[in-house]
Amino acid sequence: MRRKVSLLLSQGHSDAGEYPLGFLGDEAALVVERQNALIATEAVTIQAAAASIMSKKGGDHFKKLLKQMTEN
Can you give the residue ranges of every domain in the chain? Answer: 2-70
Distance CA 18, CA 46 (A): 39
Residues 6+ apart with CB under 8 A from 1: 21, 24
pTM for the whole thing?
0.78
Residue 53 has pLDDT above 90, yes or no: yes
Query: Per-residue pLDDT averaged across 1-21, rounded?
Result: 96
11 contact partners, CB below 8 Å, separation of at least 6: 31
Q: What is the pLDDT of residue 46?
A: 96
Which amino acid is it at 69? M
